[in-house]
Amino acid sequence: MAKKKKTEQNEPVLAPIKDELICDILESNYMPYTMSVIISRAIPEIDGLKPAHRKLLYTMYKMGLLGGKLTKSANVVGQTMKLNPHGDAAIYETMVRLTTGNEALLHPLIESQGNFGKQYSRDMAYAASRYTEVRLDPICQELFGDINKNTVEFVDNYDGELKEPVLLPVAFPNILVNPNQGIAVGMASNICSFNLREVCNATIAFMKNENADIMDIMPAPDFPSGAQLLYSKEQMSEIYKTGRGSFKLRAVYKYDKSNNCIDILEIPYTTTSEAIISKIMELIKANKVKEISDARDETGLDGFKITLDLKRGTDPDALMLKLFKLTPLEDSFSCNFNVLIKNTPCVLGVNQIILEWVKFRMGCIKNGLKYDIDKKSERLHLLTGLKKILMDIDKAISIIRHTELEEDVVPNLMSGFDIDKLQAEYVADIKLRNLNREYILNRTADIEKLIDEIDEFTSILESDKKIKKMIEKQLDQISKKYGIDRKTVLISDDEVETYEENNYIEDYPLTIFTTREGYIKKVNAVSIRFTTNDHKLKEGDEIVSAIETTNISDILFFSNKSVVYKMKTYELNDTKISVMGDYLPGILGLEEDEKILYTVVTKDYSGMMLFSFENGKMAKVELSNYATKTNRKKLIGAYSDKSPVADIRFISEDTEIVAFADNNKVLCLNTDKIPLKSTKSTQGVQVMKLTKKGAKMCRVVEAKDSGIDDLKHYTTKNIPAAGSFLKKNTDKDKQISLFSE
């Protein structure tokens, strides 16, 4: 809000408002927040950890919890707040996901005791941090190895009081081993988990040959929840190359014949037991699944289990196929391998992630070798000076003894033995009792060993090939020590049976009746044959269409909003002529001023739709344009809305039609003159010329229903045509219209 100023006469005036471009404001105010979320919170880095994970694990490492005893989670949370200022609740929630108890990771990083909830449960709450205990899992040895040798960079924490690592020197591609999900600003990351043994072997193969097909070694992801992965090599290859794509996971079940129930033992990683049971119960209430009498969660000490009690005579395999389609028992995992590489988000394929990890790991090993060489060189340098003392110990004692000032001891030793300051200080700090030949010989005996070790380390440091050999050896050891068998089973998608609803629906002949007021009835042909009752209708209502079909058909309802609604005939309730039927606006969810103009029933989408508009245009569209691969219930743009529609009709083939204008003109033509269009919302072509201003085409009927005897008089060879005035002797009572006033 602008501030007020006081003039000399104490008159308040508004200070001028500084003009700023909105893009400049966003850049200065919003961009820093965006970058903070992307870099410092949501997107994992090449060590497979987000900053919150790394701060927590490093705190536990400094607390001595790697190989130490269990400690209360509250202690860890409190200590972590020195590095992570986001509050105890957020820190503890981060910890929960990393624990063995939560079962969210293939290789949990935190060993836990107490209730940490379950990844597969939405409602199971974890216990408070004061009740649970944790320590680092043994696999964390491979995360922190040589971290004290400057293998990774350290930076100040948020208040500058402590140091924390930018990354952890992980000895295996943890980025691929444990699943990771994060939502940033304008981008997200969703990385699935792979089997540790397969990842290590694939990385070794990749280092030997970057063109190796790692899918032969690591064919697909592996999840802690198990389940079955519907495997398509082409689909998986695309994910491996681009880092994007999706695949389907399917639950594992067994049929208990003695109790007539299905036990679901493994579910997709992306769903929960509550979501599955809730969806099943919803289907039961909607009468879409009639084979199940009860569904409950029986997870206990023996592990995960959902039990479905079946009604007598139910085919369990057929039921599960249906549930796979209708519930999260079959779910998709969408991959988005977005990783931070040197603070830059990159969507990488699996090979690229392994390449970046190898570069990172080689850097860690080189830093560790440099540290070892520096330390051993320092040690060698000191021992070399000590060796010179060995030549004349008495002289060294004499120099120290006859030096009057303490500060002159080091300079006198330097000049007396031709050694530098560091060597002299090392000699001067030796205790008097150690100034003997045996002590000095024992110390200087390490010189040759140090020289050999420095030469060896230098040789490794200068050879990428030798460093890769070290990585291969470490990966092989990790694979053998921590590797576990694959939990997720691969099933070829070509061999997987899918649920086809039509295969499980009884087909029989029936008739669909629709009324002008919007009611619909599905009446079995047998019921019609044996009934003598008249249709029960709302007062003033009447039947406008009666379409004979079967129970496996599609019904298309065209509304006055240029929308077509679709449903299956078997979705309608079987009824009788003696009942009023179902109210279409309620079934279809029509808008308040929306009404159905025309109904089409089809099994194969053959034939054509003919749309006639008040402006004299007509559009002919193949009915197959309304067929969809997915079971969509509503299609917008079903026909053009540029002019009010005068008539909608289905024609199985081209036929003679008669168009009427409100200026008493009539035009007869064959629909083969109207070109077939591929776009549903086409405006069509001009058929009837409306010469009189304000005239409009009002009705279209088939020639046989027009009530006109002399059709040749009104027939045109070419379109557009104006038509002819209706003769006075034509029986107008025979003319019918689709739309009554």
Angle at which helix 409-417 crosses helix 350-390, to 10 degrees, equals 90
DSSP symbols for 83-137: T--S-HHHHHHHHHHTBTTTT-SSS-SEEEES----TT-SS-PPPPTTT-EEEE-
The burial class, CB within 10 Å (0-12 / 13-18 / 19+), for 472 is middle
Q: How far is Cα 680 from Cα 625, in angstroms, rounded to an integer?
A: 7
Nearest to 475 by CA among 217, 207, 138: 207
Neighbours of 531 (CB within 10 A): 13
- Alpha-carbon distances, residue 313 vs 55, 260, 282, 602 (angstroms): 57, 9, 22, 33
CA angle 695, 700, 703 (to 5 degrees): 130
- Gap between the Cα atoms of 211 and 204, Å rounded: 12
Rounded Cα distance between 645 and 59, Å, is 72
Torsion, Cα 499 500 503 507, to 10 degrees, reads: 130
The number of CA neighbours under 13 Å toward the Cβ of 449 is 7
Coil vs helix vs strand at 370:
helix
CB 731 within 8 A of CB 707: yes
Sequence-distant (≥ 6) Cβ neighbours of residue 153 within 8 angstroms: 165, 166, 167
H/E/C letters for each residue in 396-412? HHHHHHHCCCHHHHHHH
In the residue annotation, 131 being an active-site residue is answered as: yes
Q: Of 58, 92, 126, 131, which residue is the catalytic one?
A: 131
Closest CA to 250 of 497, 484, 485: 497
Rounded to whole angstroms, the Cα distance separating 177 from 143 reads 13
Residue that is written with structure tokens 């379109």 in the block: 719
Q: 């194969």: which residue's tokens?
A: 604
Query: Cα separations (Å) of 305 from 224, 259, 526?
Result: 15, 15, 46
Name beta bridge partners: 547.
512
Q: Which residues are the active-site residues?
A: 131
